[in-house]
Amino acid sequence: MPTPVDFRAPHISKTLDRIVLSLELELIHTRHILYQTEEELHITNEVLASVQYENQMRKQQIERIRGPRVDRQLPECPICFETYSLARAETKPRILHCGHTLCNQCIRGMMAAETTHRLHCSLCRFSCMVIAPEYLPLNWAPF
């Protein structure tokens, strides 16, 4: 059986006092670090709230400058209602001499119905001389 240790012995008592003192100092140091961390967290939250408020104010200023948002619809041909696209040859927007814009496909269909190169705009009946839709200028305004 092991012999019992007498904690009242002077050399053991001094060692235990040093250990307790060391632990108390560590505890004080840890509490100090925790306090600093809480302070930093509080300051960080205040800064974050301030930045969020500033961002909200900037968004409101931008909205006031831009005006109300209007969802733009993609432009479409007034004859076939296909959305204009520069990527597809059939739906490229072309400007007639009268100023109206139609897609290649509709212009080709109108030309097939005519026996001459005269084309009558379906919107205003203006007579245009058209050899092929590719020779009409592209309308870049919708994009």
Residue spans per domain, the chain: 8-69, 72-143
* pLDDT tens sequence for the chain (143 residues): 566 656 566 677 788 888 888 999 999 998 888 888 888 888 888 888 888 899 899 988 888 887 766 656 778 999 999 999 888 999 999 999 999 999 999 999 988 888 888 888 989 999 988 888 888 999 988 66
Give the global pTM: 0.49
Complete DSSP assignment for the chain: -PPPP-TTSHHHHHHHHHHHHHHHHHHHHHHHHHHHHHHHHHHHHHHHHHHHHHHHHHHHHHHHHH-S---PPPPB-TTT-PBP-SSSGGG-EEE-TTS-EEEHHHHHHHHHH-SSSEEE-TTT--EEE-S-GGGSPB--TT-
- The CATH code that applies to domain 72-143 is 3.30.40.10
